[in-house]
Amino acid sequence: MSVQPKTGREWHLVARPHGWPKPEDFALRETAVPEPGPGQILVRNIHLSVDPYMRGRMNDVKSYTPPFQLDQPMEGGAVGEVIASNADTVAVGDHVLHGLGWREYAVVDAKRTAKVDPEIAPLSAYLGVLGMPGLTAYAGLFEVAAFKEGDTVFVSGAAGAVGSQVGQMAKIKGAARVIGSAGSDEKVKLLVEEYGFDAAFNYKNGPVAAQLKEAAPDGIDVYFDNVGGEHLEAALSSFNVHGRATICGMIAQYNATEPTPAPRNLAHVIGKRLRLQGILVGDHAALQPQFVAEVGEWLREGKLQYRETVVEGIENAYDAFVGLLRGENTGKMIVSFAN
C-alpha cells in the first residue's frame, strides 16, 4: 500500500450560478482524505473531465441527474491510479475510470469503477474518444439517429469532443456528405483537413440557415445537435423528408437567464415527418463493448482522429470549465495533474 495522503484539494460549488458561472460560485478547498472502507479504493486522479452537462447540475432543478450540492465536492469523469485498495478486484497500481472528478484524491467503491489500460490508449482518451463523449457520439449517430449509408449528416459544435467523432464515424460508415459547424475559421479548417468533413462553416460568419443550405444544397438526412437555437432551426429547414435529429446538447442556451424560444419553423416536423429524439448516454450502456471494440479498431487503423485541449493543474479546473462553455476547446477539454 502506498503512503496515505493526509489532505487533498477539491472543488466545491458554493453558490448556484445565475447566467454565466462566476469565480465566486466555486471554492477550491483542502480537505482530509479518508481511508478506503471495505470494498473501496483510493484513487490519485491524473486527468479529470469538464463537460457541458455539468452546467445543468449547478442549478437546483429537477432533472435526469441530481444537482450538485452546495459546499460539497462536485462530480464528473476522472481517471487515475489506485494508491490504496480494500477491494479484491482492484490492486494498487491499477488505473481506473470513475465518476468522482473535481478533486485530487477520490475514495470510491471498486464496483463503481472500470479498469483502463494505458498500454492500449493514453489515459486521457478514456475520458474522451474512448469514454463518455465517444459513446455518446456512437450511440447518438447509429442507434438514436438510425444512420444509414448514403445519408447526408449535419453536426453542430463539430469541433468538440462529441461532434468531431460523430462526423468521422459517419464518414467511416459511408455517409454521402458530412457538414459541420464550428466557432472559428481555424476549427473549420480542422474539420475539413484533418477530420475529413466534406464541408464546414463558421457559424459566426453569417446566418446558419444560409450557410447550411450552401453546404448541403440537396438537404440533410441526419442532424446531430450539440448547440440548439439557431442551429436547430436551420436544420429543420434543410431536412429532407423522414429526417432524424439526435438532440444531444443545447450549449447555446445553458447560461440563459430567461426561457429561450422554440424554433420558429417547428411545423416542418409535420410536413417532413421528422423525428427529433434526445439522448442520455446512460441509456445506451449495453453498446459499450461494441463501441470500444469498433472504435478501438478505427483508432489503431488511423481512421479516427481526435484532439484534446489540456489545462494543467487542478487549480485551473474552473477556468477550463468556463472555457469549454465559451468554445475555447478543440476536441475534449481535459484537466491534468499529478503525474
Helix (H, G, I), strand (E, B) or coil at 202: strand
Tens of pLDDT, residue by residue over 20-34, are 999 999 999 999 999
Arithmetic mean of pLDDT, 101-121: 94
1 pLDDT band (50/70/90 cuts)?
very low
Average pLDDT, the chain: 94
Residue ranges of domains in the chain:
7-127+307-336, 132-282
Higher pLDDT, 259 or 223: 223
Per-residue pLDDT for 339 more than 70? no
Question: Could you count the other beta carbons within 10 Å of the beta carbon of residue 326?
Answer: 12
What pLDDT does 120 receive? 84
Q: Is the dihedral of CA 105, 107, 109, 110 positive or negative?
A: positive
What pLDDT does 64 receive? 81
Contacts 24+ apart (CB under 8 A), 174-178: 174/149, 174/150, 175/147, 175/149, 175/150, 175/151, 176/150, 176/151, 176/152, 177/152, 177/153, 177/216, 178/152, 178/153, 178/154
Give the CATH superfamily of 132-282. Answer: NAD(P)-binding Rossmann-like Domain (3.40.50.720)
| Distant-in-sequence, close-in-space partners of 236: CB < 8 Å, separation ≥ 6 | 263, 265, 266, 268, 269, 274
CA distance 199 to 181: 9
Per-residue pLDDT for 213 more than 90? yes
Per-residue pLDDT for 257 more than 70? no
Segment holding 13, helix H or strand E: strand 7-13
Question: Could you count the other beta carbons within 10 Å of the beta carbon of residue 218?
Answer: 10
Query: Which class for 8: exposed (0-12), middle (13-18), buried (19 or more C-beta within 10 A)?
Result: buried
Arithmetic mean of pLDDT, 145-149: 98
Per-residue pLDDT for 203 more than 80? yes
Look up the CATH number of domain 7-127+307-336: 3.90.180.10
| Predicted TM-score (pTM) above 0.85 | yes
Per-residue pLDDT for 261 more than 90? no
Per-residue pLDDT for 208 more than 50? yes
Tens of pLDDT, residue by residue over 150-191, are 999 999 999 999 999 999 999 999 999 999 999 999 999 999
Q: State the Rg of the chain over Cα.
A: 20
